[in-house]
Chains A and B, each alone.
Chain A
Amino acid sequence: MSVMKRLSGIVQAKTNKLLDKAEDPRESLDLSYQKQLESLQKVRRSVADVTTAKKRIELQASQLQQQADKLQGQAKAALTQGNEDLAREALSRRTTLADQLADLKTQHDQVSAQEQKLIDTAQKLQAQVDAFRTKKETMKATYTAAEAQTKIGEAVSGISESMSDAGMSMQRAQDKIDGMQARAGAMDELLASGALTDLANPVDDIQAQLNKASTTSAVDAELAALKAEVGTGAPPPAQLEPAEPEGGPS
């Protein structure tokens, strides 16, 4: 059976729930208008929820990016010290973070798309509600009771359908961000619990090794200088032993 017909029936059923049965059809115009205003409020709140979800993802991404940049710097520092293994370790951790960042980027794009759609929905509904406010007064003034019955009924059904549509769009956005919220929550917990600090702690093990290496070479240099000062027939201290010849890059 036709998808459009089936869907039309479903939307109609949702819309019927929004309709009030008023004795006077003119009264139903005012009742409907109240519902429209409430509906607009809901859409606006929904936009705010999606924006909050987006901001949260942005914050996490910037935290991860900082850690990734730091690991990049550490890899460079390790290479400067000639410690290729340590550089490799830093880069491999950075790759893990890069994967998570890519995932966040995808989520961010999806949330942004939902946000834009809801903003459009809110604008469209706002325009219709504004138009309805004007039109309902005209309808009250011009229609005879008999006309009012059908014409007002149709107008109220029409705008109620727009509210159903907006409701379905909100539900859709909510469903999409619910899944992401769960993942964002897990990521927040990871960041807070320190499980990620293995990867990028401010004083992580990579930094510790780098610090140790630079301390060692500073001590070596001072020792050499001291030997020169004492000058007891020790070999010239200007330079440290060069690296093993066979240890060069291939």
Chain B
Amino acid sequence: MIVRILGEGQYSIPDDQRDALESWDATVAKAVDSGDEEAFGPALAALVAEVRRIGEPLADDTFAPSDLVVPFPDASLAETRGLLADSTDPAGADDR
């Protein structure tokens, strides 16, 4: 699968790493949903580091859409919430 880190580029990651990656993602999602500023920074940094660690950067002449997208590595909680709210579908936000 292909994962994009916003502002950085795309990485190719073995499909069997998906679950591992999503558990890192879950920590970020939890911080975003609860508005936990302190937990957010380290959680995002860990997710970004994991993508860079297990991923192979996609060559410039390989063009493919991403399966997953990671926020800007230095994004704040507010900025990430803004990005996620940048959807025309308001139903998704309160869908608990």
Bound CA–CA A167/B1 (angstroms): 23
Bound CA–CA A156/B10 (angstroms): 15
CB contacts (< 8 Å) of A11 on chain B: these are: 4, 6, 66, 69
Bound CA–CA A128/B10 (angstroms): 12
Write the nearest CB–CB distance from B14 to chain A, whole angstroms: 16
Write the nearest CB–CB distance from A151 to chain B, whole angstroms: 10
Of B25, B65, B67, B88, most buried by chain A (CB within 10 Å of CB) is: B65
CB contacts (< 8 Å) of A156 on chain B: these are: 63
Contact surface of B with A, Cβ cutoff 8 Å: 3-4, 6-7, 9-10, 21-22, 25-26, 28-29, 32, 47, 60-72, 79-80, 83-84, 86-88, 92, 95
Given contacts A10-B84, A13-B88, A165-B4, contact A4 B63 (CB under 8 A): no
Check A15 against B65 for contact (C-beta < 8 Å): yes
Bound CA–CA A10/B88 (angstroms): 9
Given contacts A10-B83, A12-B65, A135-B63, contact A4 B70 (CB under 8 A): yes
Check B63 against A132 for contact (C-beta < 8 Å): yes
Interface membership of A230, Cβ < 8 A: no
The 5 closest A-B pairs by CB, nearest first: A158-B63, A131-B61, A4-B68, A155-B63, A7-B69
Determine the residue in chain B with the shortest Cβ distance to A160: B65
How many A-B pairs fall under 8 Å by CB? 100
CB contacts (< 8 Å) of A162 on chain B: these are: 10
Check A7 against B83 for contact (C-beta < 8 Å): yes
Check A7 against B84 for contact (C-beta < 8 Å): yes
CB contacts (< 8 Å) of B64 on chain A: these are: 154-155, 157-158
- Specify the main secondary structure of chain A where it touches its partner: helix
Write the nearest CB–CB distance from A12 to chain B, whole angstroms: 7
Q: Which of B7, B28, B87 is in CB contact (< 8 Å) with A3?
A: B28
Bound CA–CA A12/B65 (angstroms): 8
Bound CA–CA A15/B71 (angstroms): 16
Check A158 against B83 for contact (C-beta < 8 Å): no
Determine the residue in chain A with the shortest Cβ distance to B32: A3
CB contacts (< 8 Å) of A161 on chain B: these are: 4, 65-66
Bound CA–CA A152/B60 (angstroms): 16
Write the nearest CB–CB distance from A159 to chain B, whole angstroms: 5
Bound CA–CA A133/B64 (angstroms): 15
Check B60 against A2 for contact (C-beta < 8 Å): no
Of A3, A121, A135, A162, most buried by chain B (CB within 10 Å of CB) is: A3
Determine the residue in chain B with the shortest Cβ distance to A121: B7
